[in-house]
Structure formats: C-alpha cells, structure tokens
Amino acid sequence: MNSPARWSPSVTVAAIIEDGGRYLLVEEETPEGLRLNNPAGHLDLAESPLQAVVRETLEETARKFTPAALLGIYLSRFQRPARGEDVTYLRLAFCGSVGAALPGRALDTGIVRTLWMDLGELRASAARHRSPLVLRCIEDHRAGRRHPLDLLSTDDSVYRPELKR
C-alpha cells in the first residue's frame, strides 16, 4: 500500500533587531511586488537555527547579527493561488543586535534596501509586509517576550550525518 507524501513545513529563521525604538527591516522583491520583512530566510542543510539567523542577517543586511534570545516559534500558512503554492512556515525568531554595515558587502539578490522603522511606521505599513509575522514578531519583542538561547539544541548529527546513535 502506498502511503501519502509526508507533509513538512518550511523552516525559517528571522532576526528582530531594535535600536532606539526603531526596527531593522529589509525591502525585498517578491511575486507580489516590493514587500517589507524582518531579515529572514530558510534553514539550510547542516546548520543550526542560530547559524542560520546569523547567516541570513548578514546576507540580507550586510551586518553581523549577535543573537541574544529566542523571541518565539511561529507557525503560519501562505497561499499564492496564481502559482498553486500553499506553504506552511515554521519561523524561529531571534532578537539581538547588529554592528555597522560592512563596507563593500552587497545585499542578497532580491533585497532592494535595508531600513529602520518605528512601531507606528510598521503598523501603518502592514499592507506591505511580507507576512503577518513581520509585525507579530515586533509586537512580541515590544511586549518583552524572551526565551534563553539554550532552549534550542542542535544534535551533532545535523553537522555529521554519519553519526549513528
């Protein structure tokens, strides 16, 4: 008997970065036009969520991200009927800080620019957000939600699949 294909969500990471009441966002090209997003992206093979969020933030903002806490774990669904896409995202959001933009480092393909926005500007631009999680994560950050980074653990088998236990 054939078993149905196993459903699995797309795992993503996001960086929530606040400085002086303003949040770092990226403006990116999407099939729906230019959208605002937290620096975010997909978890790659053989990397931990912490490694992924540091890498994605560097790629999208040209800034080194230092995670301080796990903000939360979010589940959302995105449907794009024109392309027949129906994707569920499992987002691990981290808060932390960034340094200055690294001179000469280009932004990732599709990222038009980075910008800092305050909460009022973010709320007013909600129609341009890539997903409802953009504002939700920032609202959770403002509410003081924080979890220790050691809440997450990555087994060595992620980096060395030959390990068998």
- Tell me which of 86 and 67 has the higher pLDDT: 67
Q: Are 89 and 131 in contact (CB under 8 A)?
A: yes
Specify the CATH architecture of the domain 10-149. Answer: Alpha-Beta Complex (3.90)
pLDDT digits (tens, 9 = 90+) for 9-20: 999 999 999 999
Return the CA Rg of the chain. Answer: 17
pTM of the predicted model as reported, rounded to 2 decimal places = 0.92
- Please report, as a single letter, which amino acid is at residue 129: H
Question: How much is the average pLDDT of 70-80?
Answer: 94
How confident is the model at residue 101, as a pLDDT?
96
